[in-house]
């Protein structure tokens, strides 16, 4: 029997706003499958986003959903989680939202290791505003504000997350749709701040400026560059040139923020919340 996505979709909220060929919908489907696998209770799950095409995702999900301001999802979510640690808190958003304007909140959520899962849809561009370059736009690629090619170097989101202290970091792609839910399941199960970066596509504002003839070509590129971590172990540095590792990249057990704060409450002699 086909999987029933409607279970977690808010009645009457589709169709979504995304363009044909946009990868965000693939990520949303993966997220829904993961929620179903874990049997997440809708009233006990908060989905928090910033602003951008990717950040429109929460509106479609039948949970406690919070569409915040550009870049601020991690900080709003931190407040929700602190107030109600028993809730499952999932953050979603784009590369611009999370690593440019929201970069500070992102690294500090990683550092605190607060038990939330951040699904970041990296389409290498500011999609919603028409294709300006983001902190992940590859060097020399074209965006509406880099007509001569992007002079900026780009972030490796996974490395950034690991460096900042996230204790679970994974990467998938919109092409490898069947892997997305598995990564998200593992991320949500992990106690601590988990980051799942999904390499995504934006045919409308990034693809067409960078000579991708079709969505299929963009998807094929994701397929070509992705190398599962296991496979990469057997590959030489030359073979890994230009490739991107996928799968669970990092996992560590470290004290989680809300649990640590509970100890503060106990030290202060405070009762239960």
Partner 1 sequence: MGKKVAFLQGNEAAAHGALYAGCNFFAGYPITPSTEVAEVLSAELPKIGGKFIQMEDEIGAMAALLGGALAGSKALTSTSGPGLSLKQELIGYGCIAEIPCVIYNVMRGGPSTGMPTGPSQSDVMCAKWGTHGDHPAICLVPASVQETYEEVIRAFNLSEKYRTPVMVMPDEIVAHMRERIVFPEKGEIEIIDRKSPTVPPEQYKPYDTSFGDVPPLASFGSEYRFHVTGLNKMQDGFPTTKASVVQEEEERQVRKVEGNADDIVKFEEYLLDDAEIVVVAFGSTSRSARYAVNEARKEGIKAGMFRLITYWPFPEKQLLALAKRGVKAFITPEMNLGMTHGLVKGCTEGNAPVLGIFRVDGEPINPGQILDKMKEVK
Ligand X SMILES: Cc1ncc(C[n+]2csc(CCOP(=O)(O)OP(=O)(O)O)c2C)c(N)n1
The closest of 53, 56, 88, 93 to 73, measured between CA atoms, is: 93
**Tokens 């550092």, residue located:** 111
According to DSSP, the residues that pair with 93 across neighbouring strands are 120
- Interface with ligand X, residue 262, by CB under 6 A: no
Residue 95, binding choice from Mg ion, partner 1, ligand SF4, none, Cβ under 5 to 8 Å by partner class: Mg ion
Which residues from 97-136 bind partner 1, rule CB under 8 A?
104-105, 108
Out of 137, 173, 204, 246, point to the residue binding ligand SF4 (CB under 6 A). 204
96 binds ligand X (CB under 6 A): yes
- The radius of gyration of the chain from alpha carbons, rounded to an integer in Å, stands at 18
Residue from 90, 116, 128, 158 binding ligand SF4 (CB under 6 A): 128
Compare residues 94 and 203 and give the one whose CB is closer to ligand X: 94
Report the distance separating Cα 25 and Cα 86, nearest Å: 28
State the chain's maximal CA–CA distance in angstroms. Answer: 64
Minimum distance of ligand SF4 from residue 243's CB (angstroms)? 24
Q: Report the residue from 53, 114, 195, 196 that binds ligand X according to the rule CB under 6 A.
A: 53
Tokens for 67, please give them: 């569409």
Tokens of 182: 């598995």
Query: Considering the complex, what minimum distance in angstroms separates the CB of residue 252 from ligand X?
Result: 27
d(CA 206, CA 212): 9
Q: Is 186 in the site for Mg ion (CB under 5 A)?
A: no
Tell me the residue number closest to ligand SF4, measured at CB: 127
Residue 1 interaction partner, one of ligand SF4, partner 1, Mg ion, none, beta carbon < 5-8 Å per kind: none
| Ordered alpha helix ranges (H), 190-234 | 215-225, 229-233
Dist. CA 203–CA 57, nearest whole Å: 18
Query: What b/e string do you get for 33-42 counting C-beta neighbours within 10 Å, with b at 16 or more?
Result: bbbbeeebee
CB 204 within 8 A of CB 126: no
The entry of Mg ion, ligand X, ligand SF4, none near residue 70 (CB within 5 to 8 angstroms by kind) is: ligand X
* Beta carbons within 8 Å of 267's beta carbon, 6+ residues apart: none
Residues 60-99 that bind partner 1 (CB under 8 A): 62-69, 72, 75-84, 86-87
Which residues form the interface with Mg ion (CB under 5 A)? 94-96, 123, 127
Which residues form the interface with partner 1 (CB under 8 A)? 10, 13, 42-44, 46, 48, 51, 58-59, 62-69, 72, 75-84, 86-87, 104-105, 108, 261, 264-265, 267-273
């Amino acid at each position: 029997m086909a999987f029933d996505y409607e279970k977690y979709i808010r009645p009457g909220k589709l169709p979504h706003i995304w363009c044909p060929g946009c990868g965000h919908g693939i990520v949303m489907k993966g997220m829904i499958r993961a929620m179903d696998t874990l049997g997440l209770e809708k009233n006990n799950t908060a989905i928090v986003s910033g602003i951008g095409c990717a950040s429109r995702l929460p509106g479609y999900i039948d949970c406690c959903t919070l569409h915040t301001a550009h870049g601020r999802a991690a900080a709003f979510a931190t407040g929700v989680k602190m107030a109600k640690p028993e809730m499952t808190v999932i953050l979603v958003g784009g590369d611009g939202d999370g690593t440019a304007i929201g970069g500070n909140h992102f690294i500090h959520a990683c550092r605190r290791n607060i038990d939330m899962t951040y699904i970041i849809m990296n389409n290498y561009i500011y999609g919603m505003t028409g294709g300006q370059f983001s902190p992940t736009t590859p060097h020399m690629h074209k965006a509406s504000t880099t007509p001569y090619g992007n002079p900026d170097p780009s972030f490796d989101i996974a490395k950034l997350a690991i460096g900042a202290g996230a204790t679970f970091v994974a990467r998938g792609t919109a092409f490898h749709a069947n892997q997305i839910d598995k990564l998200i399941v593992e991320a949500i199960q992990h106690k601590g701040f988990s980051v799942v970066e999904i390499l995504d596509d934006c045919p409308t504002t990034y693809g067409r400026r960078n000579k991708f003839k079709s969505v299929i070509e963009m998807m094929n590129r994701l397929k070509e560059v992705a190398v599962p971590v296991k496979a990469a172990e057997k590959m030489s540095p030359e073979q890994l040139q230009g490739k991107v590792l996928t799968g669970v990249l990092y996992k560590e057990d470290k004290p989680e923020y809300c649990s640590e704060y509970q100890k503060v409450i106990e030290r202060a002699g405070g009762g239960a919340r």
